[in-house]
Chain A
Amino acid sequence: MKKFDYFQPETLKDAYSLIEKSNGSYIYIAGGTDLIANIKNRLIQPDALISLRRIKEISGITQNKDLTLGSMTLLRDIEKDSHIGQNYPALAQAVKILATPQIRNVATIGGNLCNSAPSADCAPPLLVLEASVTLEGPGGQRSIAIEDFFMGPGQTCMNMSEILTRIRITPPGENTGMAFLKVGRVSTDIAIVNAAACLTMEKNVCRKCRLSVGAVAPVPLRLRSVEKMIEGQEISPELLNRAGKMVEEEVKPITDVRSTSGYRRIMSGVLIKRAIEEAIRRMEQNK
């Protein structure tokens, strides 16, 4: 493994000044559970890591009008937060089955997003909740929709000196249910396919539908055309089958060590159907 320096700034400003000095050879590190493995595997060879763990202002969970998650909030803390479990069950479920206890005790939600893995389990729930992310850098801050954040495998819209600081979610309204589902080789493995759904219902008719699948395209996908087809309709087995077929056509999966593109394609349709059913079931339970 290549040697690297390790800095532990306590403020965002100190972090920026370190990265600006580095000419692109330093990178930020959050929990590091993927990044350290990547360094060991020589996929990246930075001269130094700038740890964000001591920057207190970008950690923690607060619910005012919106739910705000500091980017350095541990997956463990999201998993154990009863308010999130109750009100944002799709996110709670994603975090609960992500990797192993030891990883969740160290990994952060911001790190999961910034890796920009197509299979990132936190992405589909945040996509269907229409979360926004705040990116801060030496030049100031900007807030963008999570949908615009991912650019490709390992690539985000952030520049080198920017830090993802906060994730903001507006609580979904009444009569809303949501779900996250995942298939993997074993429970602790990276997803073969993952999916989330968030539906607002008026009796049997779907008023608002948000759908997302992951690990079946270069970025986690929002399924806008499928959402549009479902909104205003009564949820029926026929409609779900049509939705499943549409999902199969929209995804662009690859074959890798975990699965084949064919299996991923079929499972993405199946998972979306199941996620919609599960979301409606949850909504009815909460009435």
Chain B
Amino acid sequence: MKKIIDFTLNGREVSAEVESHKMLLQVLRDTFQLTGTKDGCGQGECGACTVLVDGISINSCLYPAFEVDGKSVTTIEGLVGEGNKLHPIQEAFVENGGIQCGFCTPGMIMSAKALLDENPDPTDEELKKGISGNLCRCTGYVQIVDSIRKAAKSLK
């Protein structure tokens, strides 16, 4: 079964013909070649595939593509500003060593974005809970938390 779905992708109106058994993750990576969003566990455990749907963080590996019809999707590629300027959260990750191998980073940053959009001034506890759905296999959590804390400051 196929269907044409229309949605907003990183601020642009797009449409694509997708198969009914595809998840949003495959559509982003295969149809739109937005490979910033990573395919990790495929089970909603690791958070590498995190994107925002209508501003809310979700695991795109478990999100049926048909469900984004009419919605707005933001991926890591959508955070970059004019002239390829990094988003303040991205900049904070670069500057504070929040990246090691980098595989978890796009998902981690999307979770951080969802958290800071909703709660611009999180406590350390809230911040850690905000990224509890994202695993870093390099275990560099201290720098990641530090990066998000500093991003929160620079976004104020």
Contact = CB atoms under 8 A, between A and B. Distances in A.
- Do A and B assemble together? yes
B114 interface: yes
Contacts, number: 77
A266 to B, nearest CB: 27
Contact of B67 (A41, A51, A100): A51
A115 interface: no
A285 interface: no
Interface of A: 1-6, 8, 29, 32-33, 36-37, 40-41, 48-49, 51, 53, 76, 99-103, 105-106, 187-188
A53 B20 CA distance: 15
A240 B56 CA distance: 43
A26 B114 CA distance: 34
A129 B19 CA distance: 43
12 contacts: A3-B19, A33-B62, A36-B44, A36-B64, A40-B42, A48-B20, A49-B64, A51-B64, A101-B130, A102-B133, A105-B56, A105-B57
A1 to B, nearest CB: 7
B59 A32 contact: no
B1 A33 contact: no
A101 B133 contact: yes
Contact of B44 (A3, A29, A48, A102): A102
A44 to B, nearest CB: 13
Interface of B: 1, 19-21, 23, 42-44, 47, 50, 56-59, 62-64, 66-67, 111, 114-115, 129-130, 132-133
Contact of B1 (A6, A29, A53, A100): A6
Contacts of B21: 1-6
Contacts of A102: 44, 47, 50, 57-59, 111, 133
A182 B115 CA distance: 24
A187 B132 CA distance: 8
A188 B66 contact: no
Contacts of A187: 132
Nearest to A188: B132
A3 B129 CA distance: 35
A37 B46 CA distance: 13
Nearest to A49: B64
Contact of B64 (A32, A101, A105): A32
Nearest to A40: B42
Given A5-B1, A51-B67, 6 more contacts: A4-B21, A32-B62, A33-B59, A36-B23, A76-B56, A101-B57
Contacts of A51: 64, 66-67
B66 A103 contact: no
B78 to A, nearest CB: 17
B55 to A, nearest CB: 10
Contacts of A6: 1, 20-21, 64, 66
B43 A40 contact: yes
A2 B19 CA distance: 12
Contact of A103 (B19, B59, B67, B114): B59
A51 B114 CA distance: 25
Contacts of A49: 64
A4 B43 CA distance: 18
Contacts of A101: 57, 111, 114-115, 129-130, 132-133
A120 to B, nearest CB: 16
